[in-house]
Structures are given as C-alpha cells and as structure tokens.
Chain A
Amino acid sequence: MRPARVIAIARRDLALELSGRRGWILPLILVGLLAPTTVARVPLPRAPQPVSLRVRGEVPQAVQALEFVQDDDRPQLDFRRDDGVLIVRANGIRDDVRAALDGEAPALQVKRAIRPIRLPGRTLLFALISASTLTGAVSSSMAGERAAGTLVGLLAAAVTRLEVVAGKWLAWGGLGALASVLAACSAMAMGRVTPGWWLLPLPVVAPATVALGFWLVRRATDVVTGTTVSLRVLPAVLSITGLGAWFLGRVDPLLGASVPLGGALVAAGGTWDGLLAPLVALCSSMALSLACLWMTARDLEDAPREAPPGRTLRAASVTTALAAGVWWLPILSPILWGAAGNPTLTDDLPRAAGVVAGGLGLALLALSGAASTPSILQALGLKRSPDVRWIAGGVFAGVVLALVPVSGWAALPVSPSWAAVVERLGAASGGLALSGAGSTAALLGQELFFRGWVQHRWGPLAAVLAYVVVITPLDPLAGLLVGGVSTGLVHGGRCGVWPALAAHATWTVLCLL
C-alpha cells in the first residue's frame, strides 16, 4: 500500500463531488444538520404532571383522599366488597393507590427492582449524523464509477485494488470523521459537552459505516441500485448494532463495546465510563473497516450482471418457496393472534385483504421474474391474442369446476388444531366466498404467476406442481385438478394465459353467485 497513491485517489474522489458550485451542497448540509445538535441546550426534564384517577363503587376514604380522584361511570378502578374483602377491578393500580389501600401494615408489598439505565448522550448524534449523511457519496463513489465506466480506467492504472478502495474510504470516511470531530470540538468550546474518552471512538463511526457501505454496494452496477441498498441496509445496521451494543453493555460494557460499529456508536455517546470500553469499541470498528475494505477490494472487479433465473430445479424450488411465503403470510398470519391469546382479532380481521395482498404479491413476483426476460408480456403469457375457441373452452372448464366442487375430496388428514389453516387456504384458493377485490386479486395473481411466469419458464408440469404446493398444499388432489385444467388450457391453446383467465373468472363468478 503506497500512501501517496491512496491520497491521490482520495483527492480525486473528493474533487469530483466537492468541486464547483454544487460541491458546496454536501458540506452545507452536514453543517446544517450538525450545528443545531452542537449548539442546542438540552431542556431539563419536566416534573411529571398529576393525572386524574376515575373511580367507582365502595371507594375507601384513604383513596378518596388522594389528589385528582373523581367518580366516573367509566372507572379505572372499580371497588366492591366480597365476603369482607375489598376487590379492586382494574387493569393496573398506581403505587400511591396501593399504598393508600395497604395502610400502615401491608400484607404484601409490591416493589420495583429497576437497574439504573444509562442512555447515550448527544455526542452519539455527532457520529450518527456524520455517518448517515454520506449514503449518497458511498453509493456514487463505487457504483457510480462502475456505471460511468471510469472504474475500468482506474483499475487499469498503476494502483492496486486495495489502494483504490482505501483511497475512496479515506476520502469519505475522512470527511465523516472530520465533521464529527469538528462538531465535538465546537460543542466542547461552547460548554455543551465535557471532554472524555468518548472522543476516542467518535471518529471511527463514519469511516466504519463508509467501509461497510462500500462492501454492500461493491457489486452494484449503477447508482440507483447502490443507493437503494445503502439506504435500506445502513440505517438498519446502525440501529441494530447500536441497540445490540447497548443491551450487551448493560451486562458488561466490554461486551457491548466489542460489537463492531454499534459499540463505537454507543461509546461515542459517552455511555460507558473508563478508557477500556471506548478503546475496545475503537478496535472492533476498525477491525470491521479493515475487513470490509479487504473484501471490497477482493470483489471489486466481480460485477455479474443479473441473469434471468435458470431453468433448473433449484431455481424453480426457490421461486415456489418465495411464492408460498408471499401467499401464506397475509392469509395465514391472522391465525397467530388467536394462538397468542386474542382469538377475537383473528375472527375480525378482513380475510379479503389477505387474498388481495397474496394475489398482488404473486403478480409482482411474476412481474419481477418476467422483467429479466426479453419480453415481459410474452413471459407472462399476455403477448398473444386471445383465441375465441380456447376462451370458450376456458369458460366451459370454469362452469364444470363450479358445478363439480373438487375441494375436500381427498384432503390430507390433519390434526384439529390445523383446521383454521385448512379452512383459510381452501377459501383463498380461488378467492371464493370473498369480496370482488379479493377474488380479482386471487385470479390475476395466480394466473399471471403460475400459468404465466412459471409455465413460461419451467413448463406445464412445474406450473401444476407449484400451484399445488403454494395454493392447495393440504388438498393436493383439488390442486392437481384445478391447476391441471388451467395449465392444460394454456399449453394446448398456445394463445397465452387468456383461456386460464377465462376459466378462473367463470369459476369465481359462478361461485360468488
């Protein structure tokens, strides 16, 4: 690693972004966000305001004597006597009420045992703001160069991959570190914060975030891709590692400090006393930075273009598993409320919304898959003109399916606790017994995905099997019949998904009638 070259690359990166009139925007935004955090005085916590207490029934004198107690027909505390014992109906009892009821000699005392919680101070914000403002720079620095074709030139120059990555890291990580240190110095000069060991991990948060960002977007081929990745992943990583470090730090500060990135973030907030924890936080985040930089340099030239999913069994299985998740999640999840102790919610939640979500999810999944082919419409089976004879065949098949209900003929034997799953999947399979929106979503989603995308990509057998696995896993014979008829119409007609859509629509309309 040659420092002069690393610095040259850093200067080049900074010059590209920070030169000219527009070059002032990023520093100005950094200053605009950091200045209020630096200057503002932290307001003193307000004393808790007294809250009124609504009571009813045989309220004891000691409770009546409390402040802000008022009789009300919608009470928080409802008093009555039962065999000489005072019963207090409530879903929570305040400590002052409990003390009033207990009197001098309580039979049972209820006490809290809270471990004092130390929260990070405002200096955490210096690190957080400096790190999060660099999302755009991180994305454009790597993915932008790749998209613009300048990365090839850079890699062809007499510099190593590691020097390229280190130079870019120095530019943006350095800017973030500088911003956070300047903010800290200003706050100290104005007396808003006092110096401490928190200064040690403060400057490593932004560089570690930048290094992680580079690694995340190392294969991104354009800035949109890179930015969407860094935009969704970096805040999540900062929050999760920060919270994780804070919780672990309650057990032992060194444990919390050893969490890369999060440890430095929490330590920068002055959460832990002493030198050791900030030092460990500094080291863990630096180690993360070095690892990310090394892995980014290793993969720098590896930018595979997204290829359409292969025609392999594995690709078909992954697609089917995704479809199962998309279909089952909104349809079956409400059952969990009942299992968690609130069956009313399970019964009250709108079922049609689940089918709408499932159908929309399948349609979007089909669209996403088809986007990687030369023609979306062809991949979804919508390109060809409808053939009237096959449409009529589809309508006939729909009438037959409606007249001969196949559901439940050979359902798999399941335990009674699974009855709700069987019933919900069965009702959602054709969008039957649901509103127009639910039925339409089921119709479009299922046909575009199974008879459109899956059949186009993996053939009719895969389309039928995927339909059975996703839509009728507990009633496979019904799935085989319905899926087989629809797939057969599409395969035989060679005029796209239109006959299957006609069959499904006829079946649904007749069932709704």
Chain B
Amino acid sequence: MRRTARALVELVAVLVRRLLREGMVRRSLLWPTALTAGTLVATLIVFASLQATETVGVTRAVSAELRGVIEAAGFEPVFVSDAREAVRNGTWAAVDGQVLWTNDRGPRALQLEAALREALEAPWRPDPVVPLPQTADAAPSGAAVCRLVASLFALYGVVFGLGMVARDRDDGTLAAELALPIPRWVPGAARWIASTLLLSSFYALCVATFAAIMGLPDAAAMARHGAAACGAATAIGLVVVGRAGLKQSFAGPFATGMGMATGLIALGNTHPAVGSWLPLASVFTGGDGWAPLAGTLVAGALASAIFAVRAARE
C-alpha cells in the first residue's frame, strides 16, 4: 500500500514536470487568463483615455450658438457635410439643424439631447440617469468570463487525459510503467491527478484574477466548479483513449472526447437542475460546487479503473 502511494506521488510529480517543461503547454495554460484579463485591461485603458470628450458631427446649418451649447455640454463639435451619412459611417452622433442623428439610446446620448432641447426651448427634455455599475452588477460578467475559461480548460483536460496516454504508449513509457510492481490503475490515476492538479491551479489563477479586477459572486465556488470540470474532462480523455496511440487513430477518440465534454457542458446549459450536480455540466450552472467536485472524484476513480481494464491492456 505504501509502495503504491509512493509510486502514485512520484508518477504525479514526474507527469506534472513533464507537462510544465513544454513551453507550448505552459503558454496554453496561461493564455486564457492572459487573453481575457489583458483584453479587459486594454478596454479599460482605451475607455479611460476616450471618455474625456465625445465627438459630435455638426453641419454648416448648425448655428454657432448651438455649437457652443454642444461644447458646453462636454462634447466636441466637428464639421461634417452630411449628418446622417456621418452616423452611418461610424460617428457617434451628428446634428443637422433640428435633427439629432445617433444610434445610441443610452444616458450619454440623452445628455446631448437634453442640452439641445434646452437650447431649442422644447416643451420637454430628458434628465439622464447614469447608473454606475456596482460590484454586484459587474460580478456576473466576471463569472461569465470564468465559465468560458473553465470550458476551455475542460477541453485541455480531454487533450491531457487522451494525449498523455497515447504519447506514452507510443514512446514506450507506458509499457515501462505497467511493468512496475504496482497495481495497473496507478498510471491512469497518476495521469488523472497530474492533469487535474495542473489545470485546476492555472484555472484558480484565472478565478483569483477576475475576482480582483471584476469581482465574482463566489470565487471559491467558481474554482470548485472549474476543478470539477478539469477532473471530469481528464477522466473523459482517459476513458475514450482506449487502446489508441499516435501511430493509429488519435483523431477519432479526440473528436469523441471533445463531443462528450461539450455535450455535458451543453446539458448543464439546457438542464441546469441536473447539470448543477454533475462535473463539467455544472460549469454554467449555479451552486456551491461541492457536489460536482465529489462527482469528479468518482469520475477520476472510474476512469482509472477503466484505464486499468482497457487502456493498460497490452
């Protein structure tokens, strides 16, 4: 028993190290967090630099007085020949005598409309409410990003589960492991633990990053759902690989694994009541994530057992 446990730990450490040694794998693990967080930060920087003034197109027909009103309201008037065409071509808003052309119906457009109506002595004018989102409003968006990233990590899980077996079978590493005086489920379990540990750690980095820069309703639950998804996806990879190697039939099991993983995610979307209990399916549902986490342990144990029976059979 002690020898089995030690072999399991050693194999997990070796597999984690082997995965992390590959620069492409490292970049793949960092890519989703870097891409999503980087895009958000870049958007904020652009927004912060653009929010100072908004350009409003004005035709020659607009009086100097009205142009002054537009400027006083915090907008920058620029001359355009055709107000309608200017907005069609991407200008935020344009004024053409007594017509305000804009496709924006939000508070900022209402500010411009209010200033113009006041200047034109209209019988009514809007008083825009500019609601600033609070953490509770931003958190669901943060959660949505984390769920999408969890789906991608789950697909990585399928690749890791499937690829580690196929690769090691073809280069002879798996045969060497199976020749060791340890139970045959150990190599499968080691692959499942190594992949789940690695993917969950990098997914936790994503969750913590988004909890910091956007807020999350329950970061710990989000991390549990993600870890459950990574574990279940790896288990799927271990199950579908069967006796496949790289010399024959990798694409088929790969497509099957991807289909099963995305099918489970879709199940969670369409039937949240069922999905919230199942690992992978729970990614897009609510809940505290403990049940899917327990489920992924069962899936890992099952996958190791199936691996011992099918994949490890030489």
CB atoms of B253 and A25 under 8 A apart: yes
B62 at the A interface (CB under 8 A):
no
CB atoms of A22 and B130 under 8 A apart: no
Residue A109 contacts which of B98, B156, B253 (CB distance < 8 angstroms)?
Answer: B98
CB atoms of B209 and A357 under 8 A apart: yes
- Tally A residues with Cβ within 8 Å of B: 87
- Knowing A17-B250, A225-B24 are in contact, say whether A348-B135 is a contact too (CB < 8 A): yes
State in angstroms the CA–CA spacing of A69 and B124 once bound together. 19
State in angstroms the CA–CA spacing of A296 and B178 once bound together. 36
Residue A29 contacts which of B116, B134, B255 (CB distance < 8 angstroms)?
Answer: B255
Beta-carbon nearest neighbor of B126 in chain A:
A88
Q: Which of B71-79, B157-165, B275-283, B306-314 contacts A (4 or more CB under 8 A)?
A: B157-165
Q: Nearest Cβ distance between residue A512 and chain B, in whole angstroms?
A: 20
List residues of chain B with CB within 8 A of the CB of A345. Answer: 132-135, 138, 215
A91 at the B interface (CB under 8 A):
yes
List residues of chain A with CB within 8 A of the CB of B47. Answer: 340-341
List residues of chain A with CB within 8 A of the CB of B124. Answer: 85-88, 101
CB atoms of A148 and B171 under 8 A apart: yes
Q: Which residues of chain A (1-59) have a CB below 8 Å from chain B? A: 16-17, 19-20, 22-26, 29, 32
CB atoms of B246 and A334 under 8 A apart: no
CB atoms of A357 and B21 under 8 A apart: no
State in angstroms the CA–CA spacing of A119 and B167 once bound together. 42
CB atoms of B253 and A88 under 8 A apart: no
CB atoms of B120 and A19 under 8 A apart: no
Number of A-B contacts (CB under 8 A): 287
State in angstroms the CA–CA spacing of A331 and B212 once bound together. 7
Interface string of B95-136 (1 = CB under 8 A from A): 000111111011101100100110011111111111111110
- Knowing A224-B164, A229-B24 are in contact, say whether A17-B100 is a contact too (CB < 8 A): no
CB atoms of A111 and B101 under 8 A apart: yes
A312 at the B interface (CB under 8 A):
no
CB atoms of A342 and B133 under 8 A apart: yes
A174 at the B interface (CB under 8 A):
no
Chain A, interface SS category: helix
- Knowing A92-B106, A357-B211 are in contact, say whether A228-B113 is a contact too (CB < 8 A): no
Interface string of A338-373 (1 = CB under 8 A from B): 011110110011110110110011001001100110
Residue A91 contacts which of B113, B128, B219, B249 (CB distance < 8 angstroms)?
Answer: B128
Beta-carbon nearest neighbor of A221 in chain B:
B22
B247 at the A interface (CB under 8 A):
yes
B residues whose Cβ falls under 8 Å from a Cβ of A: 13, 16-17, 19-26, 28, 31-32, 35, 37-38, 40-41, 44-45, 47-48, 51, 83-85, 87-89, 98-103, 105-107, 109-110, 113, 116-117, 120-135, 138, 152, 155-156, 159-160, 163-164, 166-167, 170-171, 201-202, 204-205, 208-209, 211-215, 219, 242, 244-256, 258-259
List 29 A-B residue pairs with CB atoms under 8 Å apart, sorted by A's residue number: A17-B251, A87-B124, A89-B126, A91-B107, A107-B117, A107-B120, A109-B98, A112-B103, A113-B85, A144-B170, A149-B171, A224-B19, A225-B25, A227-B254, A228-B25, A232-B32, A333-B212, A336-B48, A345-B132, A345-B134, A345-B138, A345-B215, A354-B208, A356-B212, A357-B209, A368-B20, A368-B26, A372-B21, A376-B17
7 pairs of A and B residues whose beta carbons are closest in the complex = A25-B252, A136-B254, A371-B20, A107-B122, A357-B208, A354-B212, A144-B246
